[in-house]
Amino acid sequence: MFTSPFSTAFVLGGYEIKMYGVVMFFAIICAILTANFIAKKYYREVDIDILTDFYPILIISGIICARAYYVILNIDYYILKPSEIIALWHGGISIHGAILGGVIAGILYFKKKKLSILKYADVITYGLVMGQIIGRWGNFFNSEAFGTPCNLPWKLYIAPSYRPIEYYSYSYFHPTFLYESLFCILIFLILFFGVRKVQKERDGLIFYSYFMLYSIGRFIIEGIRTDSVLNIGTVPIAQIASVLLFITGAIGCIWTINKSKKLPPV
């Protein structure tokens, strides 16, 4: 059984530093270190200095778009409480928004540098997955993004103040943050030990494969989460976004493989 612990890490100058923020900071650092390690070890043609210069742009654009995506989906709440829009320490960022922001930033940055967008995207993808593995634990400390009630051995206790009204009488829920973190570990292993071994000159294969793999896990996990904020009919918008991401990844993988077949032999 899990129990969400304290949400405040420490107090600095009279301000509470939330564990959510500490986890996200740690996730970003580990993501950068992972991408740099992968680049140095397996992608020698990737310029680490250029990659390092891109990180601040990537982080800022990812956070802005991740937050904007979440705010738009919860617009009724933020119209009433506009000051909460910048309160990132309360949680409320979307991975789909972060991916969109990162893709836009990457296209603009590497196109201007006249470098292979997909080659750098492959390297950054490893960092992204590592960031997700760690970052999901921010939901644990915030007592958010949990699933429907359950009584499994790994059930998560949620305090009454954090429970949805319809599940107020329940105490234990699916730890969906843990499911996604573990699934992202699986994705990392598949990309590193599987896709990377057959990638060869197929720039973008890691990037597009991630789209497909993550979409599968997120679609399934989203089905048992209790915090889906916007539905189209009865389908959560996050599941629709996952389907679109999967299709994009599938098309990208097919295009990348077919493109490599047309390259002259080395």
Q: Which two tokens stand for residue 165?
A: 């009204």
CB contact set of 129 (below 8 Å; sequence gap of 6+) = 184, 187, 188, 191, 210, 214
Task: Report phi then psi at 86, rounded to 5.
Answer: -95, 0
Question: Which residue stretches of the chain are H helix?
Answer: 19-42, 48-73, 75-80, 95-113, 117-135, 137-142, 176-190, 196-199, 205-222, 237-261
- How far is it, in rounded angstroms, from Cα 217 to Cα 8? 30
- How far is it, in rounded angstroms, from Cα 87 to Cα 91? 8
Contact (CB, 8 A) for 174 and 147: yes
- How far is it, in rounded angstroms, from Cα 218 to Cα 238? 8
Task: Report phi then psi at 149, rounded to 5.
Answer: -60, 145
Q: Which two tokens stand for residue 4?
A: 């969400």
Is 136 known to sit in a ligand binding site? yes
Task: List the binding residues.
Answer: 136
